């Protein structure tokens, strides 16, 4: 590091568990880019955004709980991020801060690596910010989406905003879809023995994706794998959304394999 090192980081609270620093720093090193990426525990997002300008930070990732509130402090927001209503990526171009959302893109890249999305039915479990971003992403790829959520009001609202169908979790048996994506935190460490849907909901040949990446193989994915389903873990989405950030910030092609290896190694 020296006076010409470009600084990047992640704003969130909590943020100590984030794998983004090891992923991005490994990528910077692999391509010989003079940059470093740090984790910042941020309580006041407005003051933190002012710090981006004041310190000349080149770009930041934004995570919980600031993905929505950060929008009010930016100069511009990409149309897709505005539609989603959340920003997870900020770039600083000579003091002008623009926000993007790469979560949906990351999910689509992870999915299309394993299966076709266009003209297929996709069930999304959950109705939070991740479900919204993933929903917009797969719909933009031509998928037909059904939102499944325990809380009816929240699920119906998201489905309405996406132009998707909605079913409460109790009615999931009625849905026939070849692709299922879990965007909830069910199955995340330390509650790794939990599963968001019953095993009888899964059929051989389905594609099951879980955005949870700790553990890498959630109980949902282990169960699906044993039943002959194609599975996609949360690391894939994390890495592909991170690759978008890396390329936006540096203008260089992201070393995907290096980034995946770094994350898997840390996990």
Active site residues: 67
Strand, helix or coil at 41? strand
Strand, helix or coil at 167? strand
Structure tokens at 226: 């044993």
Alpha helices in the chain (DSSP H): 20-31, 45-55, 79-84, 103-112, 129-140, 152-162, 219-226, 234-250, 256-266
Assess whether the previous peptide bond of 221 is cis (omega < 30° from 0).
no
Strand, helix or coil at 13? coil
Strand ranges for 121-201 from DSSP E: 121-125, 144-149, 165-168, 179-182
Whole-number Å distance between alpha carbons of 230 and 11? 34
């Amino acid at each position: 590091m020296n006076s010409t090192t470009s600084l990047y980081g992640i704003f969130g609270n909590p943020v100590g568990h984030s794998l983004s620093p090891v992923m991005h720093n490994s990528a910077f090193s692999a391509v010989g880019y003079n940059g470093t990426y740090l984790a910042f525990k941020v309580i006041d997002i407005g003051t933190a955004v002012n710090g981006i300008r004041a310190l000349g930070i080149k770009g930041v990732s934004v995570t919980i709980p600031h993905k929505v509130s950060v929008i009010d402090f930016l100069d511009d927001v990409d149309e897709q991020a505005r539609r989603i209503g959340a920003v997870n990526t900020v770039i600083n171009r000579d003091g002008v801060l623009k926000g993007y959302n790469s979560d949906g893109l990351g999910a689509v890249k992870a999915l299309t690596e394993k299966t076709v999305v266009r003209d297929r039915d996709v069930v999304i479990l959950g109705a939070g910010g991740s479900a919204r971003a993933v929903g917009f992403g797969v719909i933009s790829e031509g998928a037909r989406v059904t939102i499944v959520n325990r809380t009816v009001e929240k699920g119906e609202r998201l489905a309405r905003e996406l132009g998707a169908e909605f079913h409460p979790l109790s009615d999931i048996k009625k849905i026939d879809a070849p692709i299922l994506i879990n965007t909830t935190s069910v199955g995340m460490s330390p509650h790794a023995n939990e599963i968001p849907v019953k095993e009888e909901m899964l059929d051989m040949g389905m594609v099951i994706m879980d955005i949870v990446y700790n553990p890498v193989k959630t109980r949902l994915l282990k169960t699906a794998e044993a039943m002959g389903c194609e599975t996609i873990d949360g690391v894939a989405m994390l890495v592909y959304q991170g690759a978008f950030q890396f390329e936006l910030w540096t203008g260089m092609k992201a070393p995907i394999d290096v980034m995946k290896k770094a994350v898997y190694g840390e996990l």
